[in-house]
């Protein structure tokens, strides 16, 4: 899904919150990379915790090279040392394995995970938190009206757009109501905005 400044969604956002004009003037377009494979996405998101997007993609590419088909059963068969060798930390390996065990033991089908009803169950897995599920909402469930207040890039981007480094989370939550029903659209443009101003060093 590609959006430009002339798209109806973007025009609506500018009309509802004129402060966003700077954002859309800086970032001319975004392509939203929706992911149809829930397990695949969660493993990638865990891979990207606390590293740059560039590094995350490198490590994830290595992971797919040693796991022919990335699914819970296949991941559990891979030795931890092999996963360490491609650049994954021990903590991330443990999180991935816990997720895979949960899916196998509960015969979990990601095709049925189409709403928020399973969010609490995944957050209960150590290493998976609200930020991860925020990303799941936006990239897998394709919720266009969701925003993550746990994402550093989004928070700093908003402070820059509003020229207010003291803008607090509660204030951001109030402002974000103006963006309904397209909060996620703002998020995707803000990530691109963050990359422009930080030369691609955004952490996932």
The span from the CA of 57 to the CA of 44, in Å, is 8
The span from the CA of 169 to the CA of 160, in Å, is 14
The answer to which of 94-98, 176-180, 193-197 has the lowest mean pLDDT is 193-197
Report residue 114's pLDDT band, with 50, 70 and 90 as the boundaries: low
Average pLDDT rounded to a whole number, residues 24-34: 90
What does the pLDDT read at residue 109? 77
**In the numeric block, which tokens belong to residue 163?**
């020229």
Backbone angles phi, psi at 3, to 5 degrees: -125, 140
Domains annotated for the chain, with CATH where assigned, are 2-33+145-198 (1.10.1670.40), 38-139 (1.10.340.30)
Nearest Cα neighbor of 135 from 75, 199, 46 is 46
Side-chain half-sphere exposure of 115, counting CA atoms within 13 A: 1
Q: Is the dihedral of CA 63, 66, 69, 71 positive or negative?
A: negative
For residue 45, the tally of other CB atoms under 10 A from its CB is: 22
Residue pLDDT, tens place only, 45-65: 999 888 887 899 999 999 999
pTM for the complete prediction? 0.84
């Amino acid at each position: 899904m590609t959006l430009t400044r002339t798209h109806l969604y973007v025009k609506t956002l500018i009309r509802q919150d004129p402060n966003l004009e700077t954002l859309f003037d800086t970032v001319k377009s975004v392509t939203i990379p929706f992911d149809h494979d829930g397990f695949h996405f969660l493993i990638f998101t865990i891979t990207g915790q606390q590293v740059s997007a560039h590094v995350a993609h490198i490590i994830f590419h290595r992971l797919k090279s040693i796991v022919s088909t990335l699914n819970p059963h296949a991941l559990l068969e891979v030795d931890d040392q092999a996963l360490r060798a491609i650049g994954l930390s021990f903590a991330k390996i443990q999180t991935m394995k816990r997720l895979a065990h949960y899916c196998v033991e509960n015969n979990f089908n990601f095709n049925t995970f189409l709403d928020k009803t399973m969010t609490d169950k995944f957050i209960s897995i150590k290493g998976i938190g609200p930020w991860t599920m925020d990303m799941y909402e936006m990239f897998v469930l394709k919720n266009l009206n969701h925003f993550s207040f746990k994402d550093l890039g989004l928070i700093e981007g908003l402070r820059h757009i509003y020229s207010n480094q003291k803008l607090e989370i509660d204030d951001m939550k109030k402002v974000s109501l103006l963006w309904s029903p397209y909060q996620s659209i703002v998020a995707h443009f803000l990530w691109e905005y963050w990359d422009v101003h930080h030369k691609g060093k955004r952490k996932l």
